[in-house]
Amino acid sequence: MNTRRPAVMSRRVALTGLGAGGLGLAMTVHGRDVIAQDATPPVGPIKGNQLAPGVVAEVFAAVPSARAPGQTIYVARFTFQPGAEIFSHSHPGTTILGVASGSFGWTLLAGSAHVVRGAASGAAEPVEDVTEPGTDVTLGPGDAIYYEDDVVHTARGAGDTPAVVHATQVLTAGAPRIMPVDMEMGGTPEATPGS
């Protein structure tokens, strides 16, 4: 009889309520214990999708939202090589981007976005509303930008080192995560739902 199984289930239930940050901390502190007890085999490394030359997206998780029916929550990382730029596009829902390292350029083409300088250190109020088409902002480590599905934009690596950007998105379930403007949907790596 396996006497440890109820403890694993209890730990798993307890970790579920921690959210992404708490879960990450718990996995860091007790990671070896949790991995050794879980019987789920690893599926391999996270696969990156090249969105444009020098722009790679890695999706770490995608789950349906019970609080927002018809929506999928994504956790991803984007890496922009210096000078690399992605085509004009939008997303079918809410996006928040936080810069982990490097210098990240973001240009508004339509809609409105909100920049939070120092978001990683606890700032919560928008410092800058971006509403004028053509407005370009440069974000550094700890800065964030968020926007809704009416925003059309482009983004680029704006410094001499790669820009690494973490993303959380709440998007229409089954819709492409990235919707190019003035391009055929079938020609982009992100055009298929759930990819």
Amino acid symbol at 158: A
Architecture of domain 48-187: Sandwich (2.60)
Collect all residues with Cβ–Cβ distance below 8 Å to 176 and sequence separation of at least 6: 92, 185, 188, 190, 191, 192, 193
Could you give the percent of the chain with pLDDT greater than 70?
A: 70
For residue 127, name the pLDDT band (cuts at 50, 70, 90). confident
pTM over the 0.85 mark: no
Contact 8, 38 (CB under 8 A): yes
Maximum CA pair distance of the chain? 66
| pLDDT the model gives residue 19 | 39
The whole-angstrom separation of Cα 185 and Cα 81 is 24
Q: Which of 177, 152, 164 is nearest to 61 (CA)?
A: 177
Q: Over the stretch 65-102, which tens digit does the pLDDT of each residue have? A: 999 999 999 999 999 999 999 999 999 999 999 999 99
Q: Domains of the chain: which residue ranges?
A: 5-37, 48-187
Contact 72, 65 (CB under 8 A): yes
Number of neighbouring beta carbons within 10 Å of residue 49: 16
